[in-house]
A and B are shown apart, each in its own frame.
Chain A
């Protein structure tokens, strides 16, 4: 009967995964931007920042679409708040990634050679956190189908633990980098300011990724 199929609203999980992918696309741009910073490629940074803004805007569009398609008459298998919370935190990840891109274009800095390794290590770790988070989000639809009781659930909970662990590692790397550049005597103070802003954005990405993970854990466990 038509009436029986009408009962099923559109699952929020597929667009949520779509949003997660788009947000990760933003974060994935962070590494090329970091390379451009090291190379001092001003034009490249502008192009990348432009690309970042576009991707971030697309993520926003997906977010708005999910919110619009989630009317109160829909009865969801997860709480409405956790969906909203998920979107909010994901949105902040994209915002921080964009921040990173914008700060990088403010001034073409000349990063001292001895900072390169630590800086790239931090960038890579943050991108990894986001990658791991995406792996978790990709599982959402399948988890729901298995009533959050299937074998995937344990695996996903483990992955979330990984996200949290990696965030902690990225924090350590960030501290290490800060000690390095604050400890340098011959560094340009403005470069330090820019570096400070850049690592704040990176820390933000990792923090919000961890929040998304924790939020998903609640979504899975709170049943």
Chain B
């Protein structure tokens, strides 16, 4: 017996999975493209590492942002029939998916995050009226869209200046580069640990409790890495003329870590774009009810994570290869700075439950390195285009979602 509910349930699974696939296919390349391009990682290793860390990010930290998209924008109480909400979320998924494909077809840079948020607002306006949307939350989200690329830029700028100051211009650049490896590893471990532990409420208490754990883990990692490096480099002498090349090679190794870090942060934030609405629809059409406060179940997060990994494995590797070949300007020191700035910003936002666009933060971070005079020339015209696509995406996906909501609602 094929009822509308069953069809909608299946549809939301398919579309949600498709969205996850899309994220894996197109966006992971930003994290690993430079590492593959600079030769720090082979394509095969990039896919394996990317898959693992995207999944972990989605699974361990993804719930924060997913909760925001699922229940932080539209209040469930506003719907008299909860199935209306399910149809709306389905319409939002459909709208975002369609718009993403159209935009990609025309070569426009469009953020999955912006599309899905716009779509959720769109159907909510039609279904319950604009008055019921939690505009205060939306305000925070919109502010984070503007602030996050700036923070990414600032972090990347500072990291790159530090590298120039303390490594490249130091008396012993190679020695300093070796010291930087454990330090960077420790910082990455520290922030990832905090973000995993702080994934659920109450955030502040968890933060305070997990600080010692994170510090200890980070310190252990640093000491371990330091010992391994010391053991393998003890008797090596480097000629003056080779110094710069050796420093970049060390940063190439750190870049593997920062790429994984970025995959983790990306998974943590972007899985929500697929999983947030899907969690609502699956609960509504599968169980007939939804609890606003209930966190997104782990198995749905895992589903989203698997979708991303499959996207990466079936199509994403091509994009990674292409990006890697084209971005030759990004040397390991610059790539590390940009990736570290991006991943830290994105991961902190994920922990706070703010859905932001990883790509835009990355663009900001690259600009930050450029501001530190890291690149020969940067085309600022891109900013204008990005801003334009940002402004267009939200209303378009909102209207699309409203239309789909109206069409699907007829079958209910």
Do the two chains bind? yes
Instruction: Identify the A interface with B (CB < 8 A).
Output: 1-13, 73-78, 141, 144-152, 223
- CB pair A4–B374 under 8 Å, yes or no, is no
B74 to chain A, nearest CB (A): 30
A67 to chain B, nearest CB (A): 14
- CB pair B359–A75 under 8 Å, yes or no, is no
Assuming the contacts A4-B323, A151-B244, asked whether A223 and B329 have C-beta atoms less than 8 A apart, the reply is no
- CB pair B333–A73 under 8 Å, yes or no, is no
- B362: which of A4, A6, A77, A145 is its contact (CB, 8 Å)? A4
- CB pair B164–A149 under 8 Å, yes or no, is yes
Q: In the complex, A8→B380 CA distance in Å?
A: 9
Q: Which B residues touch A74, using CB under 8 A?
A: 377-380
- Kindly list 20 other residue pairs between chains A and B, CB separation below 8 angstroms, not including A74-B378, A147-B333: A1-B26, A1-B319, A1-B359, A2-B107, A4-B327, A6-B385, A7-B367, A8-B377, A11-B376, A12-B376, A12-B377, A73-B380, A74-B380, A75-B371, A75-B379, A76-B376, A149-B164, A149-B173, A150-B168, A152-B244
Chain B 362-400 interface mask (CB, 8 Å, partner A; 1/0): 110011001101111111111001100000000000000
Q: In the complex, A181→B99 CA distance in Å?
A: 82
Q: In the complex, A2→B180 CA distance in Å?
A: 31
- B244: which of A3, A77, A146, A223 is its contact (CB, 8 Å)? A146
Classify chain B's interface size: 35 or more
Q: Which A residues touch B379, using CB under 8 A?
A: 6-9, 73-75
Assuming the contacts A149-B168, A150-B243, asked whether A76 and B366 have C-beta atoms less than 8 A apart, the reply is no
Q: In the complex, A76→B374 CA distance in Å?
A: 9
- CB pair A75–B26 under 8 Å, yes or no, is no
Q: Which B residues touch A75, using CB under 8 A?
A: 367, 370-371, 377-380
Q: Does B1 contact A (CB under 8 A)?
A: no
Q: Which B residues touch A78, using CB under 8 A?
A: 373
- Among A7, A11, A141, A152, max chain B CB count under 10 A is at A7
Q: In the complex, A145→B373 CA distance in Å?
A: 10
Q: In the complex, A97→B169 CA distance in Å?
A: 39
Q: List 10 A-B contacts (CB under 8 A).
A: A1-B323, A2-B107, A3-B363, A4-B327, A6-B379, A8-B377, A77-B377, A147-B373, A150-B243, A152-B244
Assuming the contacts A74-B378, A146-B244, A151-B241, asked whether A4 and B370 have C-beta atoms less than 8 A apart, the reply is no
Q: Which A residues touch B326, using CB under 8 A?
A: 5
The 9 closest A-B pairs by CB, nearest first: A11-B376, A9-B377, A149-B168, A3-B109, A150-B244, A9-B379, A75-B378, A77-B373, A5-B326
Assuming the contacts A73-B380, A147-B374, asked whether A4 and B366 have C-beta atoms less than 8 A apart, the reply is yes
B257 to chain A, nearest CB (A): 20
Q: In the complex, A141→B241 CA distance in Å?
A: 17
- A8: which of B26, B33, B173, B375 is its contact (CB, 8 Å)? B375
Assuming the contacts A74-B377, A150-B168, asked whether A7 and B363 have C-beta atoms less than 8 A apart, the reply is yes
Assuming the contacts A1-B359, A2-B107, asked whether A77 and B375 have C-beta atoms less than 8 A apart, the reply is yes
- CB pair B378–A151 under 8 Å, yes or no, is no
Q: In the complex, A147→B167 CA distance in Å?
A: 11
Q: In the complex, A142→B34 CA distance in Å?
A: 19
Q: Which A residues touch B244, using CB under 8 A?
A: 146, 149-152
- CB pair A7–B374 under 8 Å, yes or no, is no
Q: In the complex, A78→B243 CA distance in Å?
A: 24
Q: Does B20 contact A (CB under 8 A)?
A: no
Q: In the complex, A148→B26 CA distance in Å?
A: 35
